[in-house]
Structure 1
Amino acid sequence: MLTVRDLRVDVGGVVLLDGVTFTVRAGDKVGLVGRNGAGKTTMLKILGSAEPPAHGQVRREGGVGYLPQDPRLDDTAAARTGLEHVLSGRGFDEAVVRMEKLRVAMEEDPSPRAVDRYSRAEERFRLEGGYQADSDVRRLASGLGLADDRLDLPVSALSGGERRRVELARILFAGSDLLLLDEPTNHLDSDAKEWLLEYMRRYRGGLLVISHDLDLLDEAITRVIHLDRGGHDDTGTMYEYKGTYSKYLSQREADEERRRKEAAGRAKEVERLQGVVDRFGAKATKATMAHSIEKRIARIEAEGTEGPRQARQARVRFPDPPRAGRTVLEVEDLSVTYGDNHVFADVTFSMGRGERMLVMGFNGAGKTSLLRTVASVQEPTTGRVDLGLDVVAGYYAQEHEGLDPHRSLLDQLRDAATGQSESELRALLGMFGLTGDKVFQEAGTLSGGEKTKLALTQLVAGRHNLLLLDEPTNNLDPGSREAVAESLAEWPGSIVLVSHDPDFVRALRPDRVLLMPDGDVDHWSDDMLDMVALA
């Protein structure tokens, strides 16, 4: 079904992985794990034919469904309705158009040949399930938490989370033999996530999934492929473990301890042999022996004398913000409409200095549109947004549209910075684990987690006192997510937050909740945490 042989993965001329070999057969449920930047997303792009391999072979058998981390739809796909786009996964959209042309041709010329052509096309459509396809799609979309009426809107009118659900529904509806899914639970509420987990459990094809969702990794997979950066040239290697994610963690800990001991033993042997060379190498009578020992040292060093690297703990600190006026934000009678789609209307609220507000609502309720309007990324249909005295707003967009894919990390950070030197900017990037030559890479070459870290670094560099955060923990590994939450929890500025992450919301301790699309404001209570993953 999927056979990978001696695969090399590189980004911007940097080799991330080399010599990767594995297979995925029908019934295999494989989790692809590793820290941000280890090469997971790039490797999945290669496996999904979105990028060519630098070296090695990838052989696929049967149909392949590939969900990238940030699906980009062309103009044709964006103009379709959500229903039409999902139907295109099995070609039913084209089949309907073809049948309609044959029907019109038959009416204009009811010859036996025209009737036969239409009849054969109609019979094939029926046998392939075309007549029940609409109901199948709506049932699938409902499982993923997409309201029925949203399917009838153009894809371009849907929110980012809804578009991703539509694309996931299209891939699942296609009935592929192999699924390659990059962070499939992003933007899913708890019910939709549970539905997808059950789908994966029952799925009979091969599955290769990247996810930071520990529930998914523990409940839906039977094997783990761990990508580990290390070695003297920092080229990554691959390790396989059988079982769930929890089993993998315990196996990996034991495996890494064994590898550390073996590496320490090799290092000690190299030190002993080098001492022999140092004592006898200068003597002519011992030169041949010394040369032989040096060859042996080289062989041992090739096996590695350094054990696995300890996971680097993220240390994030948001600097204290400039002081703002007592009122930082006033929103009055705000409305947003896209064509005939009325997203929300007459939303009114205000925020004080240091206040945290959580924006809640089901997908399509206008949470992202609200943040984009407050951030002046888009104009409201009606109403007004006023920032208070000395307020500097910083906007984190869940789709990372503020990043220029063709500019380096360092150049983009300079744009957001306020007079910091290059060493200070590199220190900020290093705080998020973006170090070394990576700071000169183009942003388009980063993984989703690394793009999140770059966008967050821009917020840190910008010295904002009002943060507008739209799902800031998507794609972050657990350690980075916890570090960002701890830093923001202590940060004294104002925050407007959209998030489906209950742990992150708990850490930030919101003061109030804005319920969309109605715009009702209520005081926060921990009793609402159960609603965070649902809304």
Structure 2
Amino acid sequence: MIQVRDLAVEVGGKTLAEGISFDVRAKDKVGLVGRNGAGKTSLFKTLGGALPPKSGTVKITGGVGYLSQDPRVDDVPPDTPGLTHVLSGRGLDEAMVRLEKARLRIEENPSEDNVARFSRLQERFEMEGGYAAESEVRRIASGLGLEDDRLDLPIGVLSGGQRRRVELARILFAGSDVLLLDEPTNHLDADAKDWLLGFLRSYQGALLVISHDLDLLDEAITRVIHLDREGEEALGEVVEYKGTYSQYLVAREKDEERLAKLADRQEAEIRRLATLADSMRGQTAKRARQAKSLDTRVSKLEEKKVEGPQKRRTMQVRFPEPPHAGRTVVEVDGLAKSYGDLTVFVDVEFDLGRGERILVMGLNGAGKTSLLRILAGETQADLGTVRWGHNVSVGYYAQEHEGIDAGRSLLDHMREQAGLDDEELRRLMGMFGLSGDKAHQDAGTLSGGEKTKLALAQLVAGRHNLLLLDEPTNNLDPGSRTATANALADWPGTMIIVSHDAEFVRELQPDRVLMMPEAQLDYWSDDLLELVELS
């Protein structure tokens, strides 16, 4: 159970929300919603213990499974097998490591002592449920779309999407009494999403989830907590609604209509009384006393005045005209990439003409991100060549936001992309809703949606003519996703795209598709849209 009382959340010396109180009990399934930047992720960090509260209390009964929006396994040795990391959710990883070391000792020296030690460790591991646990881990990992052989690989060679699935599997396997899940369906294909929805529907603990996935919000939750923070200087407060997300939207719209009418009535009454008081001033002493009385009434009304809901600002994005590039933008010949004994892809070949768009498809682990990282110069291919055309400028959107560093402001990140003055850079950030004091905020404190917007703003500032886009709509709310898709659809530059977002791909209308890891090229057809969410 989660019990929150009079909680205040502060990030980088700025208070985002205060006076927050709510309960989440066993079997409650609650969605935390609110616009990007409202403070949802910061509130989750506070609940999960990653961020201390400014004031107030958080009491959680039982174990907590916390999936952050950008789960990192940097503190896990890169040679740790994925299976071992998942088993650590129940503390079985160390027992498994001891058992494996004992087995290796038998291979080196099959002495009676070594065999006896292995037998004792094996019996203990079995008594602790180790072998049954391994089967359960593989079942969960399979449900999340993680191939069985990938679970046996070191975490260091897995793709970002695979590492996130391993971390989600660890949290689900742990059997915690409370789950805090921040965007759990990111990087999941359609089958994995369906499996996760089924898991969450049957989960008996207390669930609190942040998600832009409307299917999850409609099918797996029974209550909505709306974190209401309308302006950059406003403080967040929570309003609770019973029902699914769709039911919340209807109730929220009615609440806002009612609030708007109340605000209008109060404002009209304040204007009427103030005008009447002004008309009485400078007349008789009796009239002056009446005016003063009216002033008192106006002051009391001002104190109780409610603010009507602000008009939702629609993000308006425009990518500038790209610099002119040669007719052939890039030629890729014979690329191959491996991580240790794992061969990701071999013999990848394609060329890309000016203004052309190519979608890279394939299952998780097929090498899509590895290919984009090679083209972006972030890593090296084992074999093959990449030849760039005349005057090509490459902009890379990384799905893991590796280029966004904690300890540096948003404005610092923008300055490194272009020689523009700060006023112009702030204008570009404002286009993505990153305005006001946000420019000087530590980028490490941003939510996932805000990091996405900052990364997109960097692409705009860079004035590139080739964009490498790796899941650019992850973490964006529906309105921001639509605005980004429309802007890119109208942009005449060249693109190489990786995306699970079928609506985004439909809007972009790629010219060709590259199927990985087979490196098979074909022309794009809308018939392939059904495969996009599965890739």
CA distance in 2, matches of 1:438, 1:374: 32
| Equivalent residue runs for 1:286-325 within 5 Å | 290=291, 292-325=293-326
Q: For 1:79, what is the secondary structure of its paired residue?
A: coil
| Shift, 1:291, TM fit | 5.0
Deviation sequence 1:510-532 (CA, Å, 0-9, x none) = 00000111111011110000000
| Equivalent residue runs for 1:453-468 within 5 Å | 453-468=453-468
Aligned residue in 2 for 1:185: 185
Contact (CA 8 Å) 1:230, 1:237: kept in 2 or not? no
Aligned residue in 2 for 1:140: 140
Contact (CA 8 Å) 1:267, 1:305: kept in 2 or not? no
Aligned residue in 1 for 2:109: none
Aligned residue in 2 for 1:52: 52
**Amino acid across the alignment from 2:8:** R
State which drifts further: 128-137 or 435-444: 128-137
CA distance in 2, matches of 1:240, 1:427: 35
Residue 56 to residue 298, structure 1, CA distance change in 2 (3 Å): farther
| Equivalent residue runs for 1:235-274 within 5 Å | 235-274=235-274
CA distance in 2, matches of 1:305, 1:63: 40
CA distance in 2, matches of 1:460, 1:253: 34
Aligned residue in 1 for 2:532: 532
**Amino acid across the alignment from 2:477:** D
Contact (CA 8 Å) 2:161, 2:187: kept in 1 or not? yes
**Amino acid across the alignment from 1:82:** G
**Amino acid across the alignment from 2:470:** D
**Amino acid across the alignment from 1:527:** D
CA distance in 2, matches of 1:109, 1:384: 51
**Amino acid across the alignment from 1:301:** E
CA distance in 2, matches of 1:233, 1:452: 22
CA distance in 2, matches of 1:134, 1:360: 31
Contact (CA 8 Å) 2:84, 2:96: kept in 1 or not? no
Deviation sequence 1:105-157 (CA, Å, 0-9, x none) = xx8699xxx99xx97x8777545522211111111100000000001111111
CA distance in 1, matches of 2:51, 2:237: 20
| Shift, 1:306, TM fit | 2.9
State which drifts further: 279-288 or 38-47: 279-288
CA distance in 1, matches of 2:408, 2:97: 43
CA distance in 2, matches of 1:42, 1:351: 42
| Equivalent residue runs for 1:73-84 within 5 Å | 73-84=73-84
CA distance in 2, matches of 1:294, 1:32: 42
Deviation sequence 1:238-288 (CA, Å, 0-9, x none) = 111111111111110011000001111111122122224434466765666
Unpaired runs of at least 5, structure 1: none
Aligned residue in 2 for 1:28: 28
**Amino acid across the alignment from 2:186:** N
Aligned residue in 2 for 1:164: 164
**Amino acid across the alignment from 2:421:** S
**Amino acid across the alignment from 2:390:** L
Aligned residue in 2 for 1:16: 16
| Equivalent residue runs for 1:277-356 within 5 Å | 277-280=277-280, 290=291, 292-356=293-357
Contact (CA 8 Å) 1:264, 1:306: kept in 2 or not? no
Aligned residue in 2 for 1:421: 421
CA distance in 1, matches of 2:479, 2:414: 23
**Amino acid across the alignment from 1:414:** R
Aligned residue in 1 for 2:411: 410
Q: For 2:78, what is the secondary structure of its paired residue?
A: helix
State which drifts further: 227-236 or 397-406: 227-236
Contact (CA 8 Å) 1:77, 1:85: kept in 2 or not? no
**Amino acid across the alignment from 1:353:** R
CA distance in 1, matches of 2:447, 2:360: 27
Q: For 2:429, what is the secondary structure of its paired residue?
A: helix
| Shift, 1:421, TM fit | 2.5
Unpaired runs of at least 5, structure 2: 106-111
Q: For 1:240, what is the secondary structure of its paired residue?
A: strand
CA distance in 1, matches of 2:322, 2:312: 30
CA distance in 2, matches of 1:236, 1:60: 22
State which drifts further: 454-463 or 221-230: 221-230
Aligned residue in 1 for 2:108: none
Q: TM-score normalised to the size of structure 1?
A: 0.94
| Shift, 1:386, TM fit | 1.3
State which drifts further: 274-283 or 407-416: 274-283
CA distance in 1, matches of 2:23, 2:296: 36
CA distance in 2, matches of 1:286, 1:232: 43
**Amino acid across the alignment from 2:209:** V
Give % identity.
Answer: 63
Contact (CA 8 Å) 1:150, 1:158: kept in 2 or not? yes
Aligned residue in 1 for 2:435: 435
Contact (CA 8 Å) 2:217, 2:244: kept in 1 or not? yes
Contact (CA 8 Å) 2:232, 2:436: kept in 1 or not? no
State which drifts further: 396-405 or 36-45: 396-405
Deviation sequence 1:149-198 (CA, Å, 0-9, x none) = 00111111100000000000000000011100000000000000000011
CA distance in 1, matches of 2:426, 2:285: 51
Aligned residue in 2 for 1:68: 68
| Equivalent residue runs for 1:105-254 within 5 Å | 125-126=125-126, 128-230=128-230, 233-254=233-254
CA distance in 2, matches of 1:71, 1:475: 14
| Shift, 1:336, TM fit | 1.0
CA distance in 2, matches of 1:168, 1:265: 50
State which drifts further: 273-282 or 505-514: 273-282
**Amino acid across the alignment from 1:433:** G
**Amino acid across the alignment from 1:448:** G
CA distance in 1, matches of 2:153, 2:141: 13
CA distance in 2, matches of 1:100, 1:506: 49
**Amino acid across the alignment from 2:400:** E
Deviation sequence 1:434-482 (CA, Å, 0-9, x none) = 1111111111111100000000000001110000000000000000000
Deviation sequence 1:319-367 (CA, Å, 0-9, x none) = 1101111000110000111121211111111000000000001111100
Aligned residue in 2 for 1:447: 447
Residue 23 to residue 359, structure 1, CA distance change in 2 (3 Å): same
Q: For 2:30, what is the secondary structure of its paired residue?
A: strand
Aligned residue in 2 for 1:362: 363
Q: For 1:76, what is the secondary structure of its paired residue?
A: coil
CA distance in 2, matches of 1:437, 1:390: 36
State which drifts further: 231-240 or 463-472: 231-240
Deviation sequence 1:2-56 (CA, Å, 0-9, x none) = 0001111122222221111100001111111111100000000111111111111
CA distance in 2, matches of 1:522, 1:191: 25
